[in-house]
């Protein structure tokens, strides 16, 4: 199990400063969609240059023109690129094909997918590297979480690795670890804390014990 830090509400310098605090306790740093919208792929490029040993995920949430967008993110230094699970099969294929060509990975984000088991199985066959259950900000606000969807996906997926994102905090982490996803994605659960380093260290410790 790996720990991914999601950065959403920072500028490039803010991202670099934050990663400096916690880098020894995380495996992957995610340049979140809001950062990409505000700063462009330059954010991916600069974070990768600052932390060449960390895996960098570009959360582009691709919906169309997938091959092209994956190629651009790859050129900027992203190791993993996200596409929406609701995208057309042709777009998923285009993303997977381009990622393979570039030696990168694709994470399919299941946000807004209605038939979770069916789509997870299809995405698995289409060759994505990760399938991520994701409770977005707007659903977290009304008290939803992804735990049930994670066990559904783990049941049907044969090749892809599994990931979980959305509102995970130190208090809820043990429940997540029990389900053994390959990737645990934490944003505000670290970034909103006074002592980010201690929180990341504690999370890493729980994950390693799990």
DSSP secondary structure of 116-138: HHHHHHHHHHHT-SEEEEE--HH
Residue 134 tokens, joined:
């994701």
* Cα atoms in the 13 Å half-sphere on the side-chain side of 19: 31
CATH of 2-209, one of 2.60.120.10, 3.20.20.70, 3.40.50.970, 3.40.50.2000: 3.20.20.70
Q: How far apart are CA 100 and CA 81, in angstroms?
A: 12
Q: Is the pLDDT of residue 166 over 70?
A: yes
What confidence tier does 142 reach under pLDDT thresholds 50, 70, 90? Answer: low
87: left (phi over 0), alpha (psi -120 to 50) or beta: beta
Q: Is the pLDDT of residue 48 over 90?
A: yes
Q: Is the pLDDT of residue 141 over 70?
A: no
Query: pTM for the full model?
Result: 0.95
Mean pLDDT of all residues in the chain? 94
Task: Give tens-digit pLDDT for 51-109.
Answer: 999 999 999 999 999 999 999 999 999 999 999 999 999 999 999 999 999 999 999 99
Closest of 132, 134, 135 to residue 124, by C-alpha: 132
Q: How far apart are CA 179 and CA 29, in angstroms?
A: 22
Q: Is the pLDDT of residue 137 over 90?
A: no
Contact criterion met (CB below 8 Å) for 186 and 25 = no
């Amino acid at each position: 199990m790996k720990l991914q830090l999601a950065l959403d509400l920072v500028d490039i310098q803010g991202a670099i400063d934050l990663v400096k605090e916690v880098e020894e306790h995380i495996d992957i740093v995610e340049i979140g969609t809001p950062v990409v919208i505000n700063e462009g792929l330059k954010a991916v490029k600069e974070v990768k240059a600052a932390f060449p040993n960390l895996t960098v995920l570009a959360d582009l949430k691709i919906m169309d023109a997938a091959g092209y967008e994956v190629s651009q993110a790859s050129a900027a230094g992203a190791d993993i690129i996200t596409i929406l699970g609701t995208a057309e099969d042709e777009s998923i294929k285009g993303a997977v094909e381009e990622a393979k060509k570039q030696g990168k990975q694709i994470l399919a984000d299941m946000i807004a997918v209605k038939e979770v088991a069916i789509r997870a199985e299809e995405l698995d066959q289409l060759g994505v590297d990760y399938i991520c259950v994701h409770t977005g900000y707007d659903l977290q606000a009304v008290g939803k979480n992804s735990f049930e969807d994670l066990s559904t996906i783990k049941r049907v997926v044969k090749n892809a690795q599994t990931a979980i994102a959305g509102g995970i905090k130190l208090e809820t982490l043990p429940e997540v670890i029990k389900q053994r996803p390959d990737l645990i994605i934490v944003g505000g659960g670290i970034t909103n804390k006074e002592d980010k380093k201690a929180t990341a260290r504690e999370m890493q410790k729980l994950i390693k014990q799990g």
